[in-house]
Amino acid sequence: MKNMGEPRIKILAMPKDTNPAGNIFGGWIMSQIDIAGALAARDANVHRVVTVAVNGMEFHEPIFVGDTVSYYAKVVKIGKTSIKTVVEVTAERIFEGTKRCVHVTSAIITYVAVNAEGKKQKIECCKKHKLALGITDD
């Protein structure tokens, strides 16, 4: 996936992850999207984050049992206490003898850095570090 680096999570879709229609359950995918985004948020040098917002999410393609599902995530904005991330999901499968990779969904997830009591905490992230993450809108 262009400009997204290595996947934060790469996992095989298993029969236990299906919905009654036999496709992979959306909640399973959403849970991993949240984890992938939280892992990316840690790039902002924060230890503990909570999810504060998830944008409207649209599934463009189903995921099937046996697909290799990749979750790419990166930080796009760092605020005073919040970290905005983009997560992209792809599924790879063999279709008629050829390897095929489909874009399943995208999400924008915002996390808030919190302390051990769950209270929001200021993020200490210098301009140089933000630039290293590819964030230029500061």
Ligand X SMILES: CC(C)(COP(=O)(O)OP(=O)(O)OC[C@H]1O[C@@H](n2cnc3c(N)ncnc32)[C@H](O)[C@@H]1OP(=O)(O)O)[C@@H](O)C(=O)NCCC(=O)NCCS
Phi, psi of 61 (to 5 degrees): -140, 145
CA distance 29 to 63: 9
Q: Could you tell me if 77 and 32 are in contact, meaning their C-beta atoms sit under 8 angstroms apart? A: no
Which is closer to ligand X, CB of 7 or CB of 84? 84
Q: Could you tell me if 84 and 17 are in contact, meaning their C-beta atoms sit under 8 angstroms apart? A: no
Considering only 12, 14, 50, 101, the residue that binds ligand X (CB under 6 A) is 50
Considering only 4, 9, 35, 52, the residue that binds ligand X (CB under 6 A) is 52
Q: Which residue has the tokens 């992850």?
A: 17
Cα angle: 46, vertex 47, 53; to 5 degrees: 70
Which is closer to ligand X, CB of 53 or CB of 131? 53
Which is closer to ligand X, CB of 62 or CB of 79? 79
Taking contact as CB under 6 A, which single stretch among the options 6-14, 18-26, 58-66, 76-84 is the one that binds ligand X? Answer: 76-84
Contact residues for ligand X, defined by CB under 6 A: 50-53, 79-82, 110, 112, 114, 118, 120
